A = this chain, B = another copy of it.
Amino acid sequence: MNTAAQPRSTGTVPTTLVQHYRQVRAVTADLCRTLSPEDMTVQSMPDVSPSKWHLAHTTWFFERFLITEHLPGYRVFHPQFDYLFNSYYNTVGRMHPRPQRGLLSRPGVADILAYRQHVDNAMPVLLERATSDPDLAFLITLGLNHEQQHQELLLTDIKHVLSVNPLRPAWRELPSPAAGHAPELKYIPRAGGLMEIGHNGEGFAFDNESPRHRVFLEAHAITNRPVTNGEFLDFIRAGGYRIPELWLSDGWSMVQQRGWDRPLYWNPELDAEFALDGMRELDAAAPVTHVSYYEADAFARWAGARLPTEAEWETLASEQSMQGNFMEQGHYHPIAASAASSGAYQLYGDVWEWTMSAYTSYPGFKPLVGSLGEYNGKFMSSQMVLRGGSCVTPQSHIRSTYRNFFPPDARWQFSGLRLARDA
């Protein structure tokens, strides 16, 4: 892979990179601290990967795209791991089918931890070399951002694994947040005009956030906080899941085929939800989460509103300080605004916010060259953009230009919504 032609800056001074590497790698392992080997083996649906697969794949990313390319003489830990732990890089070679990740009992957790150690042992020389090699520094930073993405996925995946078990086991005991009171819902008027969005090149960003470019926005309004559980309960009680004209056609098909009548993880009585510490009482003031794009869109229509575009979201968010209920806060669950965030808007953290923007390329988009060009660009069809990070996103991973994307029927991420309307 030749990335030399790719001008960019990593935004990370070399000494920090070593520390960053150690810190990110340690966090990933720590997330598995309370999991048994059995927990770490199960794949509860094709979208979910076993925890031990996440541990191995993030390690493979460093081995494959950094070490074997830049460290002559390195011996790979196992010749078949290229097949087993390649996720979707067709240019690297064939890969184990994604829906069958849960069929692999070997390598076991202990073997995979040894694999992590093997790779960590090889990294110091590259981390040192990166102090004077910005391309290498970029690749390492990319690998760390990649691992942070998988920290979030590891948590959303293990949540799903535990949720399908009738015993409803907890991932970990968690603090009980104080009962919150959501701020009154208000629409913030926003002027239209020619705006700029996208990444400006300072610090790390994924290729899909660039280039920074102009967009014309009409005047509009956007709410001061996400929709809460209490508001979503009103939608349910008003028959929202039974009124076809509230739904996109594909969404209505999902409602009928899958029997959706409430967010994923809510109990049928609508008073509790499965969280990473097991079933807990539903907090009416906390942002609703684990809803699909279809549900977010239907709620908005019911509320006489719409979802914001990603440009509307980003121009607002770029004016806010980036704080919120992230992974580091230790809640691992959205919480009511008063407790969660000193910011006025909860734009960052808590829940990813569905936008009405389909995930597509910005004008002038250039994917990374080589295999890493498969990272983001090839998913630009039939997915919607989400913004702002969630309660399981590492804080150092997020920014106002960050574009997350999922298919409109996905519900197992911490996905919620904020309302907007035309002026």
Contacts and interface: CB of A to CB of B under 8 A. Distances in A.
A5 interface: no
Counting every copy of the chain, the complex holds 4
A27 interface: no
B165 A108 contact: no
A39 B105 contact: yes
A133 interface: no
A38 B105 contact: yes
Nearest to A382: B382
A361 interface: yes
B42 A381 contact: no
B245 A36 contact: no
A90 B252 contact: yes
Interface size class of A (residues with CB under 8 A): 35 or more
A137 B83 CA distance: 53
A414 interface: no
A364 interface: yes
B42 A293 contact: no
Contacts of A356: 360-361
Contacts of A107: 167
A378 B164 contact: no
A44 B106 CA distance: 13
Nearest to A373: B245
Interface stretch (A214-222, A230-238, A322-330): A214-222
A364 B249 contact: no
A363 interface: yes
A165 B103 contact: yes
Given A103-B161, A104-B164, A250-B379, 4 more contacts: A38-B105, A102-B102, A103-B164, A306-B361
Contacts of A249: 88, 378-379, 381
A374 B105 contact: no
A358 B361 contact: no
Interface in A272-324: 293-294, 297, 306
